[in-house]
Structure 1
Amino acid sequence: MEHITAFLTSVINVLFFKGTSIPLPSFMHSAAEFVTDVLTSDYFPLHIPYVDLYDHNLALAIIATALPPLVWNIIGPLEYYTKIPSRLSIRPIIGVYLSGAIIAALSVLRSALFIVAIRGQEKLSYFDTSMFHATGGFLAVWGVSMFLGAYYRLGIRGTYLGDYFGFLMDHKISAFPFSICNNPMYDGSSLMHLAEAIMERSPTGILLSLWLFFCYRFGCVLEEPFTSKLYAERDAQREAERLQKLAETKTS
């Protein structure tokens, strides 16, 4: 319990104050050391100005950014093929909320480690102008609008793997922000991190924002075909039921 309290306190301190560290399990640090070794090896083709590739916190942020899409692309198919998550949680709806809690917690951790990483890296005075401040503010407002708008349209079930647990939506959502792009929650989150990077004058933050965007896009490559399959199966089942009822009506 003390470890959990210390972890939550450190995350809050980073997100809302000026904290610079978060206690993490040893496997995260081991993975970060591996990422650092890769980034600083002679085989890594890029030398990135203003970015310290030896920074351990940068490696932690890279790993934490990839975790949420990876986790939901594991939990979703696992539920569809085996029903293990819903069995462990007794009921499918509880599985949705537990999955949502895990994904949300990982997302908060990602954002906190993002902030820790950019606070320890070099800042560009070139970004300290009214134009960049205004750009960062605009991107933040736009990103938050897209993120919260998508959350409002989807609800908890639609946001956190509800379709994998059998809670499919009746119709495709086309209202804002889905009228702007197909994945407003992902794009909104990326814009929010980019805005933070610009306002913090951090080249490292900009690169991490691009990495976040890439992770979301890669997650979509895995997620969208599977989601389309779920709805195609639901539509086929509805059509079969409609034809069966029609046949029963004719025979009667």
Structure 2
Amino acid sequence: MDAFSSVVNTSTASLYVSILSIAFNPTAWNIVAQNEYRNKTITRMFGGNARYGCYFLAIMIFSFGMIRDHLYQRALSDQPRVPMLPAPYDTLVPTVMFAIGQLFVVTSTWALGVTGTFLGDYFGILMDHRVQGFPFNVLRDPMYVGSTMCFAATALWYERPAGLLITTYVYIVYLIALRFEGPFTDMIYSKRASAKKSL
């Protein structure tokens, strides 16, 4: 137990606030998006304009993502610093990892566009076909993988072992979110395909 407490300070409030914010984001957006699909709540807020509603949700998701990242860095600053990699790998590894993670996030956002990235399909804004180019030809969920890599890279850069534990938690949260998000999205496109066949 002493060994664990020497690398993770469990008495800091910032640790738990960060953990809560990490769980909040994908949970909230899945609930909000599924409600939108069924009840069109946000679309009605914007006078029936689904695209404006999707843009509003995109701004909310992006803003809360920035808050989550800030809270994560605050949590790391309250944790013990423990060297994990020898020089020069202590800076090289996190730099490369962060760059690759951001590459996955940015290129997947570019490939999907704003509405494709920020749950536009729940608003009825469907893509013509599944994106199969990079990075989707390398990973099924490049945005989640890239985000997880950035969490890990940040922990390594600041030499905070607690950050690696939080990163593991991030990955588990994303896996759980995908168990809801993936099938629901597949159902939306399956219904469209069935509707086209019946025409």
- Aligned counterparts of 1:126 and 1:237: Cα–Cα separation in 2: 55
1:211-230 maps to which residues of 2 (within 5 A)? 211-230=169-188
Alignment check: 8 A CA contact 1:67 1:106 kept: no
Q: 1:193, CA displacement in angstroms?
A: 1.3
Q: Tell me what 1:88 maps to.
A: 45
Number of aligned residues = 195
CA displacement 1:90-126 (0-9 Å, x = unmatched): 2111110111111111110110000000011101134
Q: 1:48, CA displacement in angstroms?
A: 5.8
1:19-58 maps to which residues of 2 (within 5 A)? 49-58=6-15
Instruction: Kindly report structure 1 stretches of 4+ aligned residues shifted beyond 3 Å.
Output: none
Q: Tell me what 1:105 maps to.
A: 63
Secondary structure of 1:163's counterpart equals helix
Alignment check: 8 A CA contact 2:155 2:161 kept: yes
Q: TM-score, normalised by structure 2?
A: 0.94
Alignment check: 8 A CA contact 1:96 1:160 kept: yes
- Aligned counterparts of 2:137 and 2:12: Cα–Cα separation in 1: 40
Residue 120 of structure 1, aligned match among 63, 71, 78: 78
Residue 202 of structure 1, aligned match among 145, 160, 164: 160
Q: 1:185, CA displacement in angstroms?
A: 0.7
Q: Percent identity?
A: 28
Question: Pairwise CA RMSD of aligned residues?
Answer: 1.2
- Aligned counterparts of 2:186 and 2:5: Cα–Cα separation in 1: 39
Secondary structure of 2:110's counterpart equals helix
Q: Tell me what 1:133 maps to.
A: 91
Residue 144 of structure 1, aligned match among 102, 111, 114: 102
1:156-167 maps to which residues of 2 (within 5 A)? 156-167=114-125
Matched, 1:59 2:43: no
Residue 169 of structure 1, aligned match among 119, 127, 133: 127
Unaligned 5+ runs, structure 2: none
Change (3 A) 1:51 1:83: same
Flag the structure with more relative contact order, 1 or 2, with Cα contacts below 8 A and sequence separation at least 6: 2
Secondary structure of 2:120's counterpart equals coil
Alignment check: 8 A CA contact 2:84 2:156 kept: no
Change (3 A) 1:202 1:234: same
Q: TM-score, normalised by structure 1?
A: 0.75
Q: Which moved more, 1:112-121 or 1:205-214?
A: 205-214
Change (3 A) 1:48 1:180: farther
Amino acid aligned to 2:152:
L
Q: Tell me what 1:154 maps to.
A: 112
Q: Which has the larger radius of gyration?
A: 1
